[in-house]
């Protein structure tokens, strides 16, 4: 347990075991909040905070938690953290909290948080759990921002609209209007559009993975077990 | 496929005559977009282009989609609709025969949800070559640069008109006074989608399909009969608020849907019993959506919803396997030939 494969953890979180694109977890907040890239970013950062804190807590308390009741204990820990994040956002990012509103408390039931606590943090040292939570969270955030950006561009031809709400007025340059008189494809703003965009993004990731695998195979002239599991 | 296209031809030509050059342009754009989407999907799947494009299925999808669009819709409606129908509605599932939903109706719903303004722009008929119809160049301008004056030319479709008037507490008698006559509605000389206005020509095409045995009677008849039955019952109960069966039959896309769209062999059940159930479900949903739903017309929604039930219907109403009883037991052999083996 002394030598933890941090590079593997980072790669897992960001790409090969990405919460959204590989595990397909946390789809409920994914569909609901990614109508704009800003909302996706806010939701992703909130989830990242919860993931990091819950991973650290679970990992440091892993010798105390009895296996028989581990799930209720995890849920309690996560719920406490989510309540804290909810209150913090309500206090300092009130406008964004109004937009994301309902979905912040629902981070409790985001399977990816419990999933990381159960499958990683409860059997790894604190530092590895911290890195894992951070990387999983960043991977989730990137996916949310990507999906939100695609839907926002297709749906209303803007990008990062409402960014000052999240990041403060210094970041108002992020707000962009790409095409001036654009009718807007309303279906992309609705849940079906979320599923469509997610499907195309998943197909794109598969394509990249396949191509990478093929290149690796060609290079070594033998089947290399890289990402297949 | 080509038989179905031939059966659609009279109603399509009538639609062209009714709505003029813009309708012809929109039709061409939609069909070309479908063929383009099909070619793209086939190329990405590494399939031979000529055989698959030549089977006419993409052509039929584009044709049906174009018939269900508002005739003077701008070109990008046809383009987005055609590409959506083929790529999302069909090729993603694996091409011809694999799609769960009717591609044309899926695209129509996506367009209706996305562009409610453009998709509900109905207009009074502008007969081709008549005095106030747009010429060829004007037609191009209307389709490709959107030079329309919607207020001066638009009219309401019968179903939309009924919905509006009822919401203003008018009775149906007042609403349809001077607006609807069974004859002109049956002939098709009224505002509506490109090719769904003429109930008469569509019924003729459907009858030809039945006679040629391209389709069977189960789906169209059960669908139409359900709508007529429900409309009849409610009309008898309260004729001020529920339109008569005749209005329901000749307006909107019901006839087109019953004969040409719901009968799509890929997305409808296999057995006769299943097809009757499927048609009845479509009819029920059409009536419910038209009468109590938020949209004035519901054929597309009804067909797509029932498409999603097709696997369930096929699961419970299976055809009998040859040589076995309905419950799957082998039938007793009546005249054994070879006792030893």
Q: What is the pLDDT of residues B269-295, one digit of tens each?
A: 988 999 999 999 999 999 999 888 888
Using pLDDT thresholds of 50, 70 and 90, give the confidence band for residue A229.
very low
Question: Can you tell me which residue has the tokens 């722009």?
Answer: B121
C-alpha dist (Å) from residue A10 to A17, A111, A132, B133, B215: 10, 20, 7, 66, 58
Contact check, Cβ <8 Å, B110/A186: no
Contact check, Cβ <8 Å, B113/A199: no
Least Cα distance to B317 among B284, B281, B271, B279 occurs for B271
Average pLDDT for residues A31-36, to the nearest whole number?
Answer: 84
Using pLDDT thresholds of 50, 70 and 90, give the confidence band for residue A96.
confident
A32 touches B at CB < 8 Å: no
Residues A58 and A133: beta-carbon distance below 8 Å: no
B44 touches A at CB < 8 Å: no
pLDDT of B280 reads 95
Averaged pLDDT of chain A: 84
Least Cα distance to B26 among B153, B144, B184, B173 occurs for B144
A183 touches B at CB < 8 Å: yes
3-state secondary structure of A45: helix
Distance of CA B201 to the CA centre of its chain: 14
Burial readout A70-98 (b: 16 or more C-beta within 10 A, e: otherwise): eeebbbebbbebbeebbeebeeebeebbe
In chain A, % helix, strand, coil (3-state, to 5) comes to 75, 0, 25
- What DSSP assignment string belongs to B61-103? HHHHHHHTS-TT--HHHHHHHHHIIIIITTGGGTSTTT-SS-H
CB pairs under 8 A between A and B: 19
Rounded to an integer, what distance in angstroms lies between the CA atom of residue A171 and that of residue A153? 19
Q: What is the pLDDT of residues A158-169, one digit of tens each?
A: 888 777 777 767
Comparing B163 with A208, the larger pLDDT belongs to A208
Comparing A44 with A3, the larger pLDDT belongs to A44
Query: Terminal CA-to-CA distance of chain A, rounded, Å?
Result: 22
Contacts of A183 in chain B (CB under 8 A): 115, 118
Which residues, in sequence order, are bridge partners of residue A177? A158
Question: Can you tell me which residue has the tokens 């062999």?
Answer: B265
Q: Smallest CA–CA separation between B64 and chain A, in Å? A: 21
Comparing A222 with A137, the larger pLDDT belongs to A137
pLDDT at A1 exceeding the cut of 50: no
Which residues, in sequence order, are bridge partners of residue B92? none
Using a pLDDT cut of 70, give the percent of chain A over it.
92
Lowest mean pLDDT among A107-121, A172-186, B239-253, B316-330: A172-186
Query: Would residue B332 be called left, alpha or beta, if left means φ above 0 and alpha means ψ between -120 and 50 degrees?
Result: beta
Which positions of chain B have pLDDT values less than 70? 130-132, 146-155, 177-179, 336-341
């Amino acid at each position: 347990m002394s030598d933890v494969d941090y590079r593997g953890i980072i790669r897992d979180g960001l790409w090969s075991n990405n919460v959204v694109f590989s595990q397909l977890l946390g789809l409920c907040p994914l569909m609901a909040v990614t109508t704009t890239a800003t909302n996706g970013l806010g939701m992703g950062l909130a989830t990242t905070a919860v993931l990091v804190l819950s991973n650290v807590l679970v990992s440091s308390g892993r010798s105390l938690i009895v296996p028989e009741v581990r799930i209720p204990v995890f849920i309690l820990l996560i719920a406490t953290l989510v309540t804290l994040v909810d209150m913090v956002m309500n206090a300092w990012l009130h406008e964004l909290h109004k937009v994301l509103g309902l979905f912040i408390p629902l981070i409790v039931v985001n399977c990816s948080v419990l999933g990381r606590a159960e499958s990683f943090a409860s059997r790894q040292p604190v530092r590895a759990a911290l890195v894992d939570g951070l990387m999983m969270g960043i991977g989730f955030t990137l996916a949310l921002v990507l999906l939100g950006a695609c839907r926002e561009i297709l749906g209303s031809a803007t990008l990062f609209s409402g960014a000052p709400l999240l990041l403060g007025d210094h970041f108002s340059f992020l707000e962009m209007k790409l095409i001036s008189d654009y009718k807007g494809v309303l279906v992309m703003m609705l849940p079906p559009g979320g599923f469509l965009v997610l499907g195309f993004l998943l197909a794109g990731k598969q394509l990249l993975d396949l191509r990478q695998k093929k290149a690796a195979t060609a290079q070594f002239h033998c089947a290399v077990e890289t990402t297949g599991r | 496929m080509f038989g179905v296209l031939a059966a659609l031809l009279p109603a399509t030509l009538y639609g062209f005559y009714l709505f003029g050059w813009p309708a012809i342009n929109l039709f061409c754009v939609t069909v070309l977009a479908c063929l383009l989407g099909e070619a793209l999907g086939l190329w990405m799947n590494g399939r031979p282009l000529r055989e698959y494009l030549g089977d006419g299925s993409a052509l039929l999808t584009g044709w049906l989609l174009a018939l269900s669009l508002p005739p003077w819709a701008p070109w990008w409606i046809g383009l987005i609709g055609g590409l959506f129908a083929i790529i999302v509605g069909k090729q993603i599932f694996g091409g011809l025969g694999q799609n769960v939903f009717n591609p044309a109706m899926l695209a129509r719903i996506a367009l209706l949800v996305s562009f409610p303004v453009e998709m509900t722009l109905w207009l009074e008929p502008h007969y081709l070559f008549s005095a106030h119809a747009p010429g060829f160049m004007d037609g191009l301008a209307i389709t490709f640069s959107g030079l329309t004056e919607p207020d001066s030319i638009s009219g309401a479709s019968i179903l939309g008109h009924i919905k509006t008037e009822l919401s203003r507490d008018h009775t149906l008698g007042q609403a349809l006074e001077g607006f609807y006559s069974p004859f002109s509605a049956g002939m098709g000389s009224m505002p509506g989608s490109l090719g769904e206005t003429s109930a008469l020509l569509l019924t003729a095409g459907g009858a030809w399909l039945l006679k040629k045995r391209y389709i069977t009677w189960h789906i169209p008849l059960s669908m139409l009969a359900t709508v007529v039955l429900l409309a009849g019952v409610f009309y008898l109960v309260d004729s001020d608020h529920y339109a008569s069966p005749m209005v329901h039959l000749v307006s909107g896309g019901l006839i087109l849907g019953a004969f040409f769209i719901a009968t799509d062999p890929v997305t409808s059940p296999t057995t006769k019993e299943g097809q009757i159930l499927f048609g009845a479900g479509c009819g029920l949903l059409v009536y419910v959506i038209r009468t109590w739903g938020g949209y004035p017309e519901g054929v597309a929604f009804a067909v797509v919803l029932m498409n999603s039930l097709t696997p369930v219907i096929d699961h419970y109403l299976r055809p009998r396997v040859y040589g076995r009883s309905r419950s799957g037991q082998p039938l007793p052999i009546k005249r054994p030939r070879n006792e030893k083996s």
